Structure 1
Amino acid sequence: MTLVIYKEGNSRRFGRIRSIISINNELRIKIQRVYIYNELPNHFYSNARSNTQEWQLWLVDQYLKKGSIIINLNEIVKKTDITIIRNTCNTNGLYIKEILYKNNGHWKLRDVNLDYMHPSEYSVLSPPPSQYKRVLKLFVDIYYDDFGTYQNIYYALGGFVPFGRNFNDFIQPFISDMKQLEQGIVMNVMGEDCWVVAGLGSVTADLPQGNDLTGIKRHGAIKGCRTCLVAKENATDMNLDIANISRYHHITNIQFEEMFATPTLMQQNEIAKEYGLRNSLLALNQL
């Protein structure tokens, strides 16, 4: 994750590089906007924020229309050091600890921890060996249907049925291979040795199995949604602040750690009920 100063019109602004994209065969940079104190909506002005305005900045939610901008490479001025405060109190220099977002038409602020982490924050990539000129990267997608196996789309994709097999046992060889591919292996492609790296990009599943794969209780539970922590009785509330109650992977991992660290099954069940978690994780969590 890289935070930069970039040019926008006649101004220089702070931003966070989200991705490098190609438009008409030209490379561009997608920037997530970062606001200074004076750019916040007026109702967020306060003595506390005013006192920190020299150091504190605010991320703008990347899913807002005004939350991002696409710029040319030459509009990047320089990299800058800004700390995104998640689990530390270190505030030396510029820092971000809140995200500006909208809910039901109203501007709000939420903790910066309540956001999906950028892949660069948790992925460790090793450079390929220098002797290989070509590097191929593969995006692996799993389709898992335990309810209507061999429906049209899965059959067309070349599905198969692991009769009499537990999913965890069945998927272990795949996980073993994927762990090797994540690190990179040599493959001969059309007569040339290439360095091939692959990763599990997405998993598509029917509703019950989707919850199983993510370690979330099924939809009959009090909190049986795999994307947020809404209670069953509030599931149709149109005013829900989804961004504030979403399930974020890094936070869900902490909840699992808390549950598995408890000494008794009763305590585990209490935590599982509080967060809507299953008492065990499936094998895909190893990736």
Structure 2
Amino acid sequence: MPDSTGLGGLRAYPLARRGMMMTGLVSGFTLATQRVEARAIHTDTQGLDAGEARIPVPDGALPAYFARPAGKGPFPVVLVNEEIFGVHEYIRDVCRRLAKAGYFAVATEYYARVGDLSKMTDVRQIIRDVIAKAPDNQYMADMDATAAWALQHGGDAGRVGVIGFCRGGRQTWLYAAHSPHLKAAVAFYGPLGGTPSSIQPQTALDVADRIRCPLLGLYGGQDPGTPVAMTREAEARAKAAHRTVEIVIYPDAPHGFHADYRPSYRQADAADAWARMLAWFRRFGMAPAG
């Protein structure tokens, strides 16, 4: 039967010419953190087109997962920035949840050049050997490539947004400052400060006054990695530069409160944050048709 979606062939996109570290995505849930899988949300693919893809980049192709409503579109695009644990089942499910809401969601394994997250279980090793060695300029270029891929396969160029979790929250701030094509951005927690390096020269706080689209930040009041005072400083810097930003603090929530497969999950706060994200997208021109 002919493929009416235009995406089927991409599932067999050739492997990277220079040998990316990962040839596929993480299966199941990440092994790098204690799991509470019985509580995890599972979203089916009924009414969706979903699966793995390869995102063409200058040195090969990066593995990714996409989910979008069945049909021709065009659909508003949401780029999903992963945690430090790879594009595993939780991130895939986030893509499917977005697709059920009418979005074309795609999560790329941006760290594939550096290491295979599917085989790593120690958080300190992941940060030291993978995350800290990934250049921000490469990450931004790969996000641009992911957006271009989505626009070629049913995405709407006039409705592109970005979200991110944990480290992906930081990348969401950076991409909001990098890309002139975004309608809206939503950061689910993640570091705002940190120690700059030659390949990661700026923190999210550094670029807060340069974001190019409205940004919603969703943070836990009990997250020691991102003190409330720092989130308020980022908000103040953005507003002083006349940027549109809103920071929501969940007073009793820890880091990772949206990650339903982990002990940090807080159901009520996660549901509220998700509703706020969808409302933010609608408010700033990202609403699905119909």
Task: Name the one with the larger helix percent.
Answer: 2
Name the structure where strand makes up a greater proportion of residues.
1
TM-score between both structures, scaled by the size of structure 2: 0.24
Tell me the TM-score normalized by structure 1: 0.24
Q: Which entry has the higher C-alpha Rg, 1 or 2?
A: 1
